[in-house]
Structure 1
């Protein structure tokens, strides 16, 4: 069991907002590089964000870690998914074997993968790649009662933050978050509905591949859950409708911001976790990098609520953190603009120093 946890809410956690006054300074630096103004497009925006997060240090991007948080959902008993809950544990075993989609894409992107048991409904054997942070064997059925207790929600936030903090202390420069949990698109849809004030019908999508009849059934289930509570407080909403993996991802976002590291957000469910974190502590928004636009219904609206502009649009809807790991090379490229690219003034003056042959690439 992961040892660092607390039942305290995150209201007093030391999170400093990214200083907006730094943006013009970094924009001026980038404008002075050996290129036409704006020629690197949105990579320049990413470089400004990365530089502002790391200021006054130069950005580091060598070590990136994908944290895949896994848990089961009691609401799955209502038939909201095309797959049984047992798939969650089976996929965790696949991640640990290094054979899932996120593993393949992470290897291609030079990203480490850590898997967190936040609340899988199974007794998982110990594994060096698995962090045991289990709260309970699956959340409760949100149709009938709160999915999490307030204490459990706070504990998840603290555990997610401490897991990230330990990785950062061990040298992680870039945090990325992803998830696995059959039924969690229903949970994420409910979070978006309540925290984003979006009609539930616009939040509920196909998830793992439901047909129209399945989506209609899923919406009806979500409506029953939503009717049970009218709370709008972010912590209460998380407890009523969230999941253990979603709550720990929200904690991971908060923890990344506390330690001034960029956190790459994956798709619909990870973005719902980011929404919880932003509602709890608005200052974390400056640390979030929204990797891609998911094909899941509701993600566009969720990104609009968060003010996030994704960098990739590939029609992905797998989850697992697959979109987030593909964002890591772009974040490294943005950092290289600041740390490796020559200034135009040096080029024109003929004072350019060659890049050291022994430096290679990080």
Structure 2
């Protein structure tokens, strides 16, 4: 499997310098709360006490899932490609958010079961026309999984070469909350019942059916619960590409903004491949999908927002971006007590 050389951000000298700078801004010590924590984290990521945010990208990986054949989603499979068409026309939720906050939207065909137009700016990394049905076997081959990690990383490298140093990740793939629920239960030991939610809008009967299908899929799996095996058995192409993208972003010392339930599970998988990746992650929000808060708690994550979001696409991550921007502006634009001739008042 592709290797990622991710350095931890820990640096005692730099940390002391950044904390000292933050504490000497014209405010009571700690009075800007999470902004101070974020500023320190970003300083450590960028190895400077004068951090910057440059050319943010939202990389959206899209693919179809074989498990949809079992009726686990309210939405039919064709919604995947239809929504990508909506992305291209600028009419989706992620489009207005990218426009509002200055993000470049990058759409990656990871494995959509449709012939998407190649002349519209979509990055073609189609592994196959959707994964296999994991109720009966592996969703993808080991070779496909490795290709996903490689392609996901390549997309981040391209963003980095475009001058980007802060990246959010989004996904589009009908059925991917089912895959995420199985990743969550297999990698955390949280009972499957607590990991399964409504997805795109299932009613109680639909959620029960979804749980029963996923429980059967889990019972049918007889392999080891390594992260590689779980990604291969139950993953989506877009999810594994996101794992590769996150690992590469950390390797390049980029800020990673995480979206909802699916992308949080991808960060969980990435952190089991290389624990240092979490140093680079900012958790954007707590979503409404059942299980999201549980996995955030499991990862000791502190999400910035709670807006009852469950859209995906990277929407919650981008909604959190202005708070990150505020943290960077705080450390760069606030004056110090000495420069402003103000007596320290803490």
2:13 matches 1:26: no
1:243-322 superposed matches below 5 A = 243-322=236-315
Equivalent residue for 1:13?
Answer: 4
Question: 1: CA distance between counterparts of 2:49 and 2:65?
Answer: 42
Structure 2 gap ranges (5+):
none
Runs (4+) of structure 1 exceeding 6 A deviation are none
Equivalent residue for 1:175?
Answer: 167
2:98 to 106, 113, 117: 106
Alignment RMSD (CA, Å): 1.4
CA contact (8 A) 1:115 1:130 kept: yes
1:24-63 superposed matches below 5 A = 24-56=16-48, 58-63=50-55
2:202 matches 1:210: yes
CA contact (8 A) 2:18 2:49 kept: no
CA contact (8 A) 2:59 2:170 kept: yes
TM-score (norm 1): 0.91
2:330 matches 1:337: yes
1:107-186 superposed matches below 5 A = 107-186=99-178
Question: 1: CA distance between counterparts of 2:189 and 2:17?
Answer: 36
Report deviation, 1:28. 2.1
Question: 1: CA distance between counterparts of 2:100 and 2:162?
Answer: 22
TM-score (norm 2): 0.96
CA contact (8 A) 2:258 2:284 kept: yes
Aligned length: 341
Report deviation, 1:346. 0.6
Residues 253-262 or 28-37, more deviating: 28-37
Report deviation, 1:298. 0.4
Report deviation, 1:20. 5.3
Report deviation, 1:57. 7.1
Residues 223-232 or 251-260, more deviating: 223-232
Structure 1 gap ranges (5+):
1-8, 351-362
Question: 1: CA distance between counterparts of 2:120 and 2:29?
Answer: 47
Residue deviations 1:257-295 (CA, integer Å, cap 9, x gap): 010001111000011111110011101010011000000
SS of residue in 1 equivalent to 2:341: helix
CA contact (8 A) 1:96 1:127 kept: no
2:89 matches 1:97: yes
Question: 1: CA distance between counterparts of 2:30 and 2:342?
Answer: 22
SS of residue in 1 equivalent to 2:295: helix
